[in-house]
Chain A
């Protein structure tokens, strides 16, 4: 049977399957669904059933438990018990869902895609359980299990870090060495129970419990020998398992993900392989993979448009800006706005210092910010205006700047189109939605432009560009 579905192309499943099989034989071969008080007859002896179930699961990915039961010729209840046990052992993951026609379809498609098999088509639409081996977890769990086993034996062998326990033979109350101070009695050396005042005996919940722990030297030595023997045996017995774990260590772990994700992936993979499945649910109802595609196409057009224009205005834009990750967008935007603000101020200072003409221009520009309609009047008025007035307005302008940052996307558009006329903007506003959906490009554009602007501002100190920029700003 083909274990590698089309989903896992790079991940090799075989070593992990072998690991699971070894684990099954090492730890679960005497697992029985019967509780201990039930009499075991030869007929009802179902030891090894857990191994069978695990083996079967290695051949599947996600599988409906009902189907699994049918394949193994097991009673569903019996199987569920075993599966629950494995779930508690963290070997498998389960998923329960209320079955719908769509879900069943998804599942059967996924099964067909991954195993080439065929899932039961007619399913009753009630809650179904699915299960799957959880390979990443199995790896960890097995290592942990082995570690604990070895540690327990070693600790016992060396009597290391073990707090001695005491028990009362009368009332079965348990104490440990940390209670010693309360237990010691004045009359004799022994520890006495707080309840019934009977003498406590040393508890021995050890593996070699048949021997009394406070026995003589001989008993102790025998116990140690036995422990050492056990440890050695353990080492030998788990060696193949350890080997397999070491082999698996550096391999990528196969992870099927949750049931839903697995189904989606399987369906997509099936389509990619050209297996045109007539009852592919993705095809008919636009499932997981289909929606983003048209969206991407649209934005791509948008991107080209933006970049083309950018190239006209800004030469040699820093390409590193364009690959901003999406979660950086907001920050990046703010940053650029801030930087622009700073640069503007610098330019202003220069203006004040250098020439009166530029001063006037500057002030005119600010008037444009305040009231677009009265631009010309302000031009004239500010020709005569004093520097003080201008500074007042500059403050006002700065406030507006900070306010404008809130309406970021719009403003971006405005500032991007430096050479474009105002009329141009209306067109761009139509596309605003797409712009917002693809912000990295917008930011990059903004950043590019900003760099350019600053250079110009520094050189020409308030040239024509700035004036136009301010007009746009006001609209933003």
Chain B
């Protein structure tokens, strides 16, 4: 799920950036530092959309770096248990398959794949129904439901299922091609 929230961060800025463009430098450094990171609490920071306020800088003793408390608005993405996501399959093996929904990795184990789908080893490992009409392989898109999340300080990993109504392959570029 996506959220638009306000976060705060203390930015350390090198004295060489002090000048006319201090603020721009601060913001660009903030974007570089923050975007794409993951915090266990808020999820993945997708993009910074605006700066709320930049506080008074504080010169650090000894280093001459200056710390600015910066409040910024950003879009974060945090997966939740029970959430339905669309993801791209990245890896298929006999234990199940891995998929990615943006920055988050999801594993669907074999017993959470419908029973009528069988693992086919080979050049392009895949799961296929007995009549061959549905095939899950690398690069194809699936809709899945998250049934468990592991949230670490810097990482979020999910376990999903496609064993439910309206879940499964939604678009297969290989088949379309």
Contact = CB atoms under 8 A, between A and B. Distances in A.
Contacts of A184: 91, 93, 98
Given A189-B95, A190-B94, A180 B147 contact: no
Interface string A208-220: 0000011001001
Interface string A103-130: 0000000000000000000000000000
Contacts of B91: 184
Interface stretch (B30-38, B43-51, B102-110): B102-110
Given A159-B112, A164-B112, A178 B150 contact: yes
A301 interface: no
A206 to B, nearest CB: 11
Contacts of B95: 180, 189-191, 202
A196 interface: no
Nearest to A188: B93
B57 interface: no
Classify the secondary structure of B's interface with A.
strand
B109 A180 contact: yes
Given A163-B147, A164-B109, A177 B159 contact: yes
Contacts of B65: none
A180 B90 CA distance: 14
A178 B157 contact: yes
B69 interface: no
A181 B163 contact: no
Contacts, number: 66
Nearest to A182: B157
B107 A177 contact: yes
A181 B159 contact: no
Contacts of B23: none
Contacts of B111: 159, 162, 164, 202, 213
A214 B111 CA distance: 8
B148 A163 contact: yes
Given A180-B98, A213-B111, A189 B93 contact: yes
B115 interface: yes
Interface string B76-87: 000000000000
A161 interface: yes
Contacts of A177: 96, 107, 109, 148, 159
B125 A189 contact: yes
B94 A180 contact: no
A192 B177 CA distance: 35
B94 A189 contact: yes
Contacts of A176: 159
Contacts of A180: 95-96, 98, 107, 109, 157, 159
Contact of A190 (B93, B98, B147, B159): B93
A164 B96 CA distance: 10
Classify the secondary structure of A's interface with B.
mixed
Contacts of B157: 178, 180-181
A158 B159 CA distance: 17
B80 to A, nearest CB: 14
Contact of B115 (A178, A202, A214, A220): A220
Nearest to B112: A159
A161 B158 CA distance: 12
Interface string B148-165: 111000000111010100
A163 B160 CA distance: 9
B103 to A, nearest CB: 13
A219 to B, nearest CB: 12
B154 to A, nearest CB: 13
- Between A162, A177, A202, the greatest number of chain B beta carbons within 10 A of the residue's beta carbon is seen for A177
Contacts of B158: 178
B159 A178 contact: yes
A181 B115 CA distance: 23
Interface in A165-197: 176-181, 184, 189-191
B77 to A, nearest CB: 18
Nearest to B108: A177
Nearest to B82: A161
Contacts of A190: 93-95
Nearest to B81: A161
B94 A159 contact: no
Interface in A68-113: none
Contacts of B115: 217, 220
A412 B163 CA distance: 74
B93 to A, nearest CB: 3
Nearest to B158: A178
A190 B112 CA distance: 17
A320 B158 CA distance: 61
Contacts of B150: 178-179
Interface of B: 91, 93-96, 98, 105, 107, 109-112, 115, 121, 125, 147-150, 157-159, 161, 163
Interface of A: 158-164, 176-181, 184, 189-191, 202, 213-214, 217, 220
28 contacts: A158-B163, A159-B111, A159-B112, A160-B161, A161-B161, A162-B111, A162-B112, A162-B147, A163-B159, A164-B159, A176-B159, A177-B159, A178-B148, A178-B149, A178-B158, A179-B150, A180-B95, A180-B98, A180-B107, A180-B109, A180-B157, A181-B107, A189-B125, A190-B93, A190-B95, A202-B95, A214-B110, A220-B115
Given A180-B157, A181-B98, 8 more contacts: A160-B161, A161-B147, A161-B148, A164-B96, A177-B159, A180-B96, A190-B93, A202-B110
